[in-house]
Amino acid sequence: MMVRQYMKYGGVAAKVRAMYGRRLRAEDYAALLSLKSVDEVAAYLREKPGFAEALGDASTSIERRVEIEQALKNALNDEFIRIYRFMSREDHPLLGGIIDKAECDEILYFLRAWQSADDQVEYSCRMPEYFRKHSQVDFEKLEKLSDFEQFWEAIERSKYFPALAKLPRERGEPPEYTVAKSVMDAKYYSDVFLTIKKHYSGDLALKLKEGFGAEVDLLNITAILRIKRFFPAMTDELSLYLLPLRGRLRPSLLAEMINAPDHEAAVEVVKRSPYRSLFAFEDCRSIDDYVTMYLWRFNRRMLSSPEPSVYTPLAYLNLREIEIQNLVKIIECVRYGMKPQDAGIILPGAEPE
């Protein structure tokens, strides 16, 4: 079995591991955090092989720092496209889920923009052309939207339309954002699991279910802990915000978390779950920190697994996304003259290896 895996995925595994070799190291993070301006951060990154091309034309002014973030995300999208084209057509349905997820995130980005606008919505699609070409959303219509009822026309061909259209709402108003996110995430992960069932079997299917199942479980754990901590009055509505899917989290433990009397009691249940190691990370101050650290370590393990698989490039892309999140946090720290520890910020991968 391992020989077959090497024959099919050995090439892409070698490729993405070499790409990961260009990642930022502990000394790079230390150097970046010693800088005094966003301009200096951009200049430093331009000297690094993994970022030079991405930031070649990006503005470096503090007012336009968002362009640096977008340039890094565009570079990650370009890497995905190269990997996607390198992979076998048999694996395209699973990797294509990244485009589906980008479409989901873009719809949610539009809903946030619409709900937060006092008057006219200023929305411009952030998806790269390749992703837009493979999406079923009419983004040109979204960008020109003047009446929210036109939103449904813009997304009517999207896989997310049926789930969103069933949500309760007032005419001319969007559905409640958090519930919309939950049903869209549920659709995305349901399709991923169906793709795994259709195209993969044996140990490879188990490995894929472990990876995506962990994401589902962590989304549900995060929702439960956040609501119990910050919105305890919403506990009776928890089921609206949970995905009807699971990975290694037993239904009985999930029910215990939901029925726990408060946040602290729910945390104690998590400590008895397969995700007990979430709370073993030092210096984490929020559930998001714990989750990010868990996913970083999980994907590091998957990337370095001696048996390559279709998950190997996915692990690389996940790690690169976390690295970009780190850089966004660093830019904020530099901009405001803060240290990560003072701001309660965790940077996975910043510690010496």
How do residues 170-206 score in pLDDT, each as one tens digit? 888 889 999 999 999 999 999 999 999 999 999 899 9
Task: Convert the pLDDT of each residue in 113-159 to its tens digit.
Answer: 888 876 677 888 988 899 999 999 999 999 998 889 999 999 999 99
Residue 318: its pLDDT value, please? 96
Whether 113 and 123 have beta carbons less than 8 Å apart is answered as: yes
Q: CA neighbours within 13 Å on the CB side: how many for 180?
A: 21
User: Within 10 Å of residue 53's Cβ, how many Cβ atoms?
Assistant: 12
Residue with tokens 């930031």: 55
Give the pLDDT confidence score for residue 119 in this predicted structure.
67
CA distance 338 to 291: 23
Query: For position 126, what pLDDT does the model report?
Result: 87
Q: Where are the domains of the chain?
A: 1-81+316-353, 88-177, 200-309
The CATH number fitting domain 200-309, selected from 1.20.272, 3.30.420, 1.20.1690, 1.20.120:
1.20.1690
At residue 64, the pLDDT reads 64
Among the listed residues 165, 180, 171, 166, the one whose alpha carbon sits nearest the alpha carbon of residue 104: 180
Positions of the chain with pLDDT lower than 70, given as ranges: 1-3, 57-64, 118-119, 343
Contact 68, 38 (CB under 8 A): yes
For CA atoms 310, 315, 318, 319, give the dihedral sign.
negative
